[in-house]
Structure 1
Amino acid sequence: MAAKYDRIATDLREQILTGQLGPGERVRAEEELVGEYGVSRNTLRQALAALESEGLIVRRHGIGTFVREARQRICRTTDRYQWEKDRVLLPREERASIGATERDTGLEMDDLQFSAVYTEEPASKDLAAVFGVAPGTKLLRRVHTTRKRGEKAPLASGVSYLVYDVAAENPELLKSENEPWPGGTQHQLSTIGIELDRIVDHVSSRPPTAEEIEFLDIDPGVSVMVMRKISIDTTDRVVEVSDIVWPGDRIELQYTTKLKPWPKRKSRPGDVNSMKFG
């Protein structure tokens, strides 16, 4: 049986998601909710804490509880990387017409603000091990920030690394002013003869740091989703590493796995296909 606070959270969540309580609207006072649900103040606060951790409400000390203004959501699907690879071969005009962020959010390019900061730094032991290079090897560190116009918080916080000497084969890849690059990283790599064979994503979640709370504009109770994306070329070499952090209340990772059919064969006694269930 669900705990009392779960039932309260479910009811209030439904009111928010169906629009009975709209963005920015003040939720009924605690005293009123305690009487309405017939529970203790502690039980009610557990329910509110659950909704706050989901990013549905914000509690302002001494003022009240409010439905959080709707935030732009991001949905990354399993065919994203193949979509990016296919676009490498398209003309520049087509590549420039839409980017991966627009695909993940459904927004238009004019709805977004992009920024990129490039710096050089020596590879840490961690990154050196992933790239298979010596610690201290010069890396190109690229910080990409994308915001929806009018919103303070970025859609995500991402840092991408390339081995500097590899990227320098095309000097244009070293210039942040060339961002956003039509076709993204996969097209950038293609200009120096690199084709990706596979991408490995390592995904986890954790509580946010103090800096992430401020930068991503999230409440302390909202977890962040963390992904290390490792891009590997057709020679089995790691060519790019990205560390991405998303607010847990705005990201959806959607995975679809296509399964191969069983080979056709004649059924034999004892086979599943020959068994009768009744």
Structure 2
Amino acid sequence: MAEPKYHRVANALRREIQDGTLAPGDRVQAETDLAERFHVSLPTIRQAMGVLRAEGLVESRQGIGTFVKEQRRRQRRSRDRYGRARKDQKLLTTDLRHEITFAGCSPAPDHIAELMMIPRGSEVVIRQRVLFDKKTGRPEEIGASYLPATFARDTFLGEPTVVPKALFLCVEDLSGKQYAHARDQWIVRPASLQESETLEIPANSPVLNVVHVASAGDGQVLEVSESTWPADRIMFVDEYDVEQDAKQPEARSDV
């Protein structure tokens, strides 16, 4: 199915906002200029701008124009992350500064061992990180990745240095397997004391915690990762085609 024209425009402008070409406070081109630039109609441009406004990326000021919002929520588009990283061979999050706070072998926490389908107490390679805004130095995300020791032990993944490309690409190189399936589960909860201190937010502030489980085609779990953000700084976007035929889901949605 061909991508709607307004999606193409919205995606292009979103990339410019995310990579800093359009910085917070910058004025977006006038609708007529955008229509000429993208070779589309004005209604298409207005649809695209409506998408960006709904995502909290831009705001319209009566009689002045449309501007990139100063305080915008970061977006996580889980379905797009792998394909983009395969294409550009870069980190999944390139606009933030990465700091690896721990890397090495250690027993997997119980809930991680369960997700990895390994015995409790099994050693895994753990990589813990904090991500910072490059301009302000503000901590934006904390997280950790847990990798099977069978292929990650005694490799550069056990060193506290930033990897040269997306972690999953490094895992694929070392394991000889490709990521084939991923499952995300997220909850909003109060920040722990350590999370509050690291993210520099008030105690018990709401955070969004995501557990990401990625496995190979043969079912082996290649990575479990956890990421945590202040809840007021992050937005999940899940865009997909709507089923047109009757289908029995594997698990029903409660909401």
Alignment TM-score > 0.5, same fold: yes
Structure 1 residues 119 and 138: CA distance shift in structure 2, 3 A: same
Residue identity (%): 20
**Is 1:235 matched up with 2:218?**
yes
- AA of the residue aligned to 2:132: R
Structure 1 residues 74 and 132: CA distance shift in structure 2, 3 A: same
Report the equivalent of 1:29.
none
Which runs of 5 or more structure 2 residues have no equivalent in the other structure?
1-24, 26-69, 247-255
The offset of 1:235, in angstroms, is 0.5
Q: Contact 1:222/1:247 (CA < 8 Å) preserved in 2?
A: yes
Report the equivalent of 1:80.
80
Query: Partners of 1:71 and 1:195 in 2: how far apart?
Result: 37
Aligned residue among 247, 256, 272 for 2:230: 247
Report the equivalent of 1:32.
none
Query: Partners of 1:201 and 1:254 in 2: how far apart?
Result: 13
**Is 1:174 matched up with 2:166?**
no
Report the equivalent of 2:168.
186
Q: Normalization by structure 1: what TM-score? A: 0.57
**Is 1:197 matched up with 2:180?**
yes
Structure 1 residues 72 and 159: CA distance shift in structure 2, 3 A: farther
**1:62-101 equivalences in 2 (<5 Å):** 73-84=73-84, 86-87=86-87, 94-95=88-89, 98-101=90-93
Which SS does the other structure have where 1:190 is aligned? Answer: helix
Q: Contact 1:141/1:161 (CA < 8 Å) preserved in 2?
A: yes
- AA of the residue aligned to 1:137: S
**1:1-20 equivalences in 2 (<5 Å):** none
**Structure index of larger Rg:** 1
Tell me the matched-pair count. 176
Report the equivalent of 1:217.
200
The offset of 1:261, in angstroms, is 3.2
- AA of the residue aligned to 2:127: R
Q: Contact 1:120/1:138 (CA < 8 Å) preserved in 2?
A: yes
Question: Runs of 4 or more off by more than 6 Å in structure 1?
Answer: none
**1:29-44 equivalences in 2 (<5 Å):** none
Query: Partners of 1:225 and 1:122 in 2: how far apart?
Result: 25
Report the equivalent of 1:208.
191
